[in-house]
């Protein structure tokens, strides 16, 4: 007999706004707030300096009057999200013109920022990289004709509502479109104007039925929106039923909570996740300033619960589009034991064009990191192709030429090496290699452009270094 989920609600009080298909992103309306109404959020007139070492954020500047018990409670943050321009002006100085522009933008692309994430913003810097991810820009509509609504064509690949089956052995399960923060670069921005929804029990059951019938699926990615907006109990109900399907080997959760509301990663959630492993968690840090003590503690709780944490960042203009920022981000992630996994080219989504960079920027960043810092710190740079073509990894080109039995390779410093390549006779599938380039002609071309060949002596005669 099929087990029914009682309600498709999230863990926030004032349930009506968060019930499936009925809710609004204005979920911090007064009716749902029982403990501390949003009206209590007023900017602190006394701009005290934050105590050193306690938090990396502007909490004490913006929210110094909020009790620790509330600040540590993710439901308080969720209820008190900043969702209107009027609320925002209490924290971020905005001219009248900017306020008018923002109101225009939010009619199409709503605003939602958690108090925690807002406290990471430097309100005095209009180009602050945290601000650019959270606060709308007029360019979202001024350049709004560029790009596509659903460039990855996820709707086309949805087998049953909410289940995307594109690759042979894994599926994407979209449980809700609700997020604690609405990231300005979001790929699923199209969903924002349809109001908030959570999959109904029947929809979840249809997804599970599909999984039971498709034995090639071994990996389920639970995403959203952000699936951790569901209550822990609701999430456990779904995860436990996935776990009963014997051919599902791993579950992955995609969530930005560790970054935008790390208080959500509480003991109850971690204990639940630890019961249904192997569960992996992919999160979304984009800038090293997001690695706060709170975020580090959240990741630590997950790791101690047996949940490995990987990071998928998005390359964004003016946010993280330099080698220096990406290196600091990825080194910081390793320090909190989070593995930099992907660096995504920002998708071709309507309303995000102003944040997109040329693909060459991503390749240059990888080139500037590879060899200069731990390999573990270097993410894979990928473009997610539109029309559902999937992810394509892009790398700097280190192979200058290839011939039978040898390669001409460039290292991270630009030095060029001849590399003896074992013959492919034992691998018939490699019998027709990619078109060969004549190594000697490439090498001589390099020589002609006044590069020097240096031999490493008798021991390495076959290894010619071409040094610039
Ligand atoms: S958390 Fe992810 S799904 Fe939610 S708004 Fe941000 S990028 Fe989009």
pLDDT per position as a tens digit, 442-457: 666 665 544 444 333 3
Question: What's the confidence (pLDDT) of residue 156?
Answer: 67
Pick the closest to residue 286 from 363, 356, 344, 229 (CA basis). 344
**CA 95 – CA 293 distance, rounded (Å):** 33
| Residue 125 structure tokens | 């810097």
**CA 261 – CA 11 distance, rounded (Å):** 14
pLDDT at 45 over 90: no
From the CA of 433, how far away is ligand 1's center (Å)?
Answer: 41
Locate tokens 């590879």: which residue?
370
**CA 437 – CA 165 distance, rounded (Å):** 39
Question: What's the confidence (pLDDT) of residue 48?
Answer: 39
Question: What's the confidence (pLDDT) of residue 389?
Answer: 81
Looking at the CA of residue 179, tell me the nearest atom of ligand 1: 4
| Residue 208 structure tokens | 């599970």
**CA 384 – CA 148 distance, rounded (Å):** 13
Percent of the chain whose predicted confidence (pLDDT) is above 90:
65
> Which of the pair, 403 or 136, is modelled with greater confidence?
136
How crowded is the C-beta side of 199, counted as CA atoms within 13 Å? 28
pLDDT per position as a tens digit, 195-206: 889 999 999 999
From the CA of 182, how far away is ligand 1's center (Å)?
Answer: 6
pLDDT grade for 262, boundaries at 50, 70 and 90:
very high
Question: What's the confidence (pLDDT) of residue 200?
Answer: 95
**CA 351 – CA 142 distance, rounded (Å):** 8
Locate tokens 């004490």: which residue?
60
Do 170 and 218 touch, CB atoms closer than 8 A? yes
Ligand 1 lining (C-beta closer than 6 Å): 179, 182-183, 186, 188, 224-226, 256
**CA 251 – CA 227 distance, rounded (Å):** 13
pLDDT grade for 47, boundaries at 50, 70 and 90:
very low
Looking at the CA of residue 256, tell me the nearest atom of ligand 1: 1
From the CA of 410, how far away is ligand 1's center (Å)?
Answer: 38
pLDDT per position as a tens digit, 104-155: 999 999 999 999 999 999 999 999 999 999 999 999 998 878 888 777 766 6
Told to judge if 243 belongs to the known catalytic residues of this protein, a careful annotator would answer no
Mean pLDDT of 411-421: 94
**Residue nearest to ligand 1 atom 3, measured at CA:** 225
Catalytic residue among 23, 60, 116, 179: 179
DSSP string, 22-86: TB-S-TT-GGG-SSS-GGG----SS-PPPPTTT-SSSHHHHSTTS-HHHHT-HHHHHHT-B-SHH
**CA 294 – CA 69 distance, rounded (Å):** 14
| Of the listed ranges 71-80, 189-198, 341-350, the one predicted with least confidence | 189-198
pLDDT at 64 over 70: yes
């Amino acid at each position: 007999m099929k087990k029914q989920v009682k309600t498709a609600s999230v863990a926030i009080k004032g349930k009506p706004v968060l019930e499936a298909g009925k809710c609004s992103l204005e979920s911090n309306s007064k009716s749902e707030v029982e403990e501390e109404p949003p009206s209590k959020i007023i900017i602190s007139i006394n701009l005290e300096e934050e105590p050193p070492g306690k938090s990396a954020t502007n909490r004490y500047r913006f929210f110094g009057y909020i009790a620790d018990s509330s600040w540590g409670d993710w439901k308080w943050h969720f209820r008190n999200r900043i969702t209107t321009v009027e609320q925002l002006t209490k924290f971020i100085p905005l001219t009248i013109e900017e306020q008018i522009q923002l109101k225009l933008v939010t009619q199409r692309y709503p605003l939602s920022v958690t108090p925690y994430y807002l406290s990471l913003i430097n309100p005095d810097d209009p180009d602050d990289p945290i601000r650019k991810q959270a606060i709308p820009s007029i360019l979202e509509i001024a350049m709004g004709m560029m790009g596509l609504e659903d460039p990855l064509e996820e709707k086309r690949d949805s087998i049953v509502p909410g289940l995307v089956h594109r690759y042979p052995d894994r599926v994407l399960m979209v449980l809700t479109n609700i997020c604690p923060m609405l990231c300005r670069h979001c790929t699923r921005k199209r969903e924002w104007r349809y109001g908030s929804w959570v999959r109904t029990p029947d929809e979840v059951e249809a997804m599970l039925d599909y999984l039971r019938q498709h034995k090639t699926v071994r990996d389920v990615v639970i995403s959203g929106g952000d699936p951790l907006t569901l209550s822990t109990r609701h999430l456990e109900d779904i995860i436990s039923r996935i776990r009963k399907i014997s051919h599902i080997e791993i579950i992955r959760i995609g969530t930005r909570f560790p970054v935008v509301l790390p208080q959500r990663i509480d003991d109850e959630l971690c204990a639940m996740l630890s019961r249904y492993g192997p569960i992996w968690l992919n999160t979304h840090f984009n800038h090293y300033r997001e690695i706060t003590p709170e975020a580090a503690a959240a990741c630590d709780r997950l790791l101690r619960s047996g949940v490995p944490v990987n990071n998928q960042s998005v390359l964004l203009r003016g946010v993280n589009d330099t080698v220096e920022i990406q290196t600091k981000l990825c080194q910081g992630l390793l320090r909190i034991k989070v593995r930099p996994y992907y660096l995504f080219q920002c998708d071709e989504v309507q309303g995000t064009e102003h944040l997109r960079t040329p693909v060459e920027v991503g390749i240059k960043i990888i080139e500037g990191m590879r060899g200069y810092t731990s390999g573990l710190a270097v993410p894979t740079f990928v473009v997610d192709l539109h029309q559902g073509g999937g992810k394509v990894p892009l790398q700097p080109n280190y192979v200058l030429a290839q011939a039978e039995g040898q390669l001409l390779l460039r290292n991270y410093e630009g030095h060029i090496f001849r590399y003896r390549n074992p013959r492919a006779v034992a691998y018939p599938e490699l019998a027709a290699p990619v078109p060969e380039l004549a190594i000697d002609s490439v090498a001589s071309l390099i020589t002609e452009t006044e590069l020097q060949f240096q031999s490493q002596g008798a021991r390495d005669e076959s290894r010619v270094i071409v040094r610039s």
